[in-house]
Structure 1
Amino acid sequence: MASDRLYLDHAATTPILPQARAAMVEAMENWSNPSSPHGDGRAARALLEDARRRIGAALGWGGQIIFTSGASEAIAIALGRASFDRILTSPVEHDSVLRVTPQAERLRVDANGLLLGTSPLCEEEGHETILAIQHVNNETGVIQPLDAIDRKGAVLFADCAQSAGKLPLPDADMIAISAHKFGGPPGTGALLIKDLALIRPSGGQEQGYRPGTENLPAILAMAAALDARRDWLSKAAILRARLDAAIEAAGGEIVARNAQRIPTIASYRMPGLSARAQLIQFDLAGISVSAGSACSSGSLKTSHVLHAMGWDDARAGEVVRVSFGPDTSEKDLDRFAAAWTRMAGRAR
């Protein structure tokens, strides 16, 4: 990436940490299949299981870990193979959840995207229910207080793609994580699951719950990224508060302004200028941001998340997302704010 560009799209993917890159390169020397019975295979298996242990320890997870190609596959395994006849989810979930649960009942959310009363639905008799909810929304950064939800015995699946490695994990029965959101390589992730009986087995690897040879170099890099993580959210909170103030001073609107949000994600509305036009102008200024989720922003549709929060097409179509990484600086955000202010002035 050109050194003069400013990257503020870390919620889409964040650079691989040096420690993770080094672990991946070193692991490429161990090319054996972890399922092979010979000595080389057993050595690879030992590395794989050590990575599993390290990832569990880093995340404070004492249950099972199934390695996957990322959070989307973990979601597909958890919700596509769950042994339940009823799924509850919300309209502000990531597309990967909505696509795999077309039959789900959608819970209502408020103007901040927070769930409204779930317990009456969760306790419906005669059904085995799974509640599938994001921990942190990938567009707005709003944190769902999952541990405070009265789920009345329903199994809880948490999409933690945006929170794993940053916030403590919620007390969920199943959790999806993705390495490239916290400094690991793309194309690897995991399903954390307390009880394997919650899903149907399928495949010859990962204790029979996933087909295909494990990507050992990427898995070791994921473990290294979690081992190397540091607490930078306090710094990010200060930086985002500074940026929020600058955007509001220039006439912008902060999405979910009064909700508890992870400090690494913010969405801003620029009245009078479409998100598409903003993205082009920011890109020409050497600044990388996005309009919502990277998995769907190419479709140019207005955000289903904002619609669920009560935004109309006109307002939702003027929102861009800014997301920080551990090395994002005050100077970086001042540069973005200056570009935003110039753009907003021309849009009036």
Structure 2
Amino acid sequence: MAKTRVYLDWNATAPMRPQAKAAMLQAMDLQGNPSSVHAEGRAARKIIEDARANIAKAVGARSADVVFTSGGTEANALALVPGLRRNGDVATRLIVSAIEHSSVRSGGRFPVEDVQTAPVTSSGVVDLERLRTLLADGAPALVSVMLANNETGAIQPIAEIAELVHAAHGILHVDAVQGFGKIDIDINALNIDLLSISAHKIGGSKGTGALILTERLAGYEPLIAAGGQEKGRRGGTENLPGIAAFGAAVAAHLDAGAAAMARMQKLRAKLETGLQAVTPEMTVFSSDVPRLPNTTLFSAPGMKAETAVIAFDLEGMAVSSGSACSSGKVHASPVLTAMGVAPETAQGAVRLSLGWDTTEAEIQYLLEAWRSLSNVLVRSSDVVG
């Protein structure tokens, strides 16, 4: 009998939804180029525009504001451009939070000398007073803050950040790659100017994403200008199968509604309660602030993340030591370092992330395995056997 496998690395990537896979296969059978005016081209174009409408609906944007990309990393690169204007104010510098994804921390198209870092609190949320000081000390800025952290799950106070940024005549970009599909997003209620999202985190295909570029902005310069696709904002023939899958995945998410998110949060509570019952001295990071309903990042005394991930894998469970973009590299998490976590605690951080079809039986399987694993991985005389 095959050994049970439990997938608890949904923040790295989500399995494709059946609806997305079906839409992708259907799009592969179409012959037309979406830019062609004949019937085949129009059929391809309709799939793209239907997907664009689904994505816009999911975040409260206009369809015309959705620009398709090759993923979240490209969407971030498209957003981080000097010279963007809002109400006539030009953003000439970039401020990023200390816990951003590497594609944001790299600064996009801003010169290194024009990039500043906004610190976070020990709970993993942006320090609003420090951000206020940075905004006041210089020209209008493009500020980039993620909606929710990919490692801790900590949800950032985006509405408050937007108020600070706009009061300082700045522009706000939000990397929502990790939060999209796990918490509600309304780009207008949160007063976001640019929003990055990715398909494979919500059950679409890898290699597809989008930047929502609101009508409030001017001065945008594309990375790829040739071809005129996406209204001149991103050249190149559109990835029709990937976009079709993206649109179908978003539609499935919208159909599932809040019940799916509430279910994940209930399972996460069971998971954390069970882990702490076995290992009371463990740390759950950002547990004192709002988090994504599916994310647990924890550490225990003496535990080494790389050893723990392998041990979980041998027991049939896929977990992560942090961002999948850094897999295979043993180094301190920039997120936990920014939060001021002691190196000996940070080195043991393991991330468990759930999804829409994670079951209670899978959580129970992990908890039963943890009773044995903790005796090997955790340095404590108080661990329950």
Specify if TM > 0.5. yes
* Cα RMSD (Å): 1.7
Cα offset for 1:3? 7.3
CA distance in 2, matches of 1:244, 1:173: 36
CA distance in 2, matches of 1:280, 1:313: 20
Q: Which residue of 2 aligns with 1:131?
A: 143
Q: Which residue of 2 aligns with 1:52?
A: 52
Cα offset for 1:121? 2.3
CA distance in 1, matches of 2:321, 2:219: 35
Cα offset for 1:340? 2.3
**8 Å contact from structure 1 (residues 147, 171) kept in 2:** yes
Unmatched runs of 5 consecutive residues or more in structure 2 = 85-90, 380-385
User: TM-score normalised to the size of structure 2?
Assistant: 0.86
Shifted more, 326-335 versus 95-104: the winner is: 95-104
CA distance in 2, matches of 1:323, 1:3: 21
Letter paired with 1:276: E
Q: Against the structure 1 CA distance between its residues 119 and 25, is the aligned structure 2 distance closer, same or farther, given a 3 Å change threshold?
A: same
Give matches, 1:1-348, under 5 Å: 4-62=4-62, 64-80=65-81, 83=84, 84-101=91-108, 102-103=112-113, 104-116=115-127, 117=129, 118-124=131-137, 127-149=139-161, 150-151=164-165, 152=167, 153-169=169-185, 170-195=190-215, 197-201=218-222, 202-203=224-225, 204=227, 205-229=229-253, 230=256, 231=258, 232-251=260-279, 252-346=282-376, 347-348=378-379
**8 Å contact from structure 2 (residues 3, 316) kept in 1:** no
**8 Å contact from structure 2 (residues 27, 44) kept in 1:** no
Letter paired with 1:226: V
CA distance in 2, matches of 1:64, 1:81: 19
**8 Å contact from structure 2 (residues 33, 44) kept in 1:** yes
* Corresponding residue SS for 1:180: coil
Q: Percent identity?
A: 40
* Corresponding residue SS for 2:286: coil
Letter paired with 1:107: A
CA distance in 2, matches of 1:332, 1:26: 33
CA distance in 2, matches of 1:33, 1:276: 46
Unmatched runs of 5 consecutive residues or more in structure 1 = none
Q: Against the structure 1 CA distance between its residues 342 and 80, is the aligned structure 2 distance closer, same or farther, given a 3 Å change threshold?
A: farther
CA distance in 2, matches of 1:4, 1:171: 45
CA distance in 1, matches of 2:19, 2:54: 14
Q: Against the structure 1 CA distance between its residues 130 and 292, is the aligned structure 2 distance closer, same or farther, given a 3 Å change threshold?
A: same
**8 Å contact from structure 2 (residues 182, 293) kept in 1:** no
Shifted more, 135-144 versus 145-154: the winner is: 145-154
Cα offset for 1:43? 2.7
Letter paired with 1:224: A
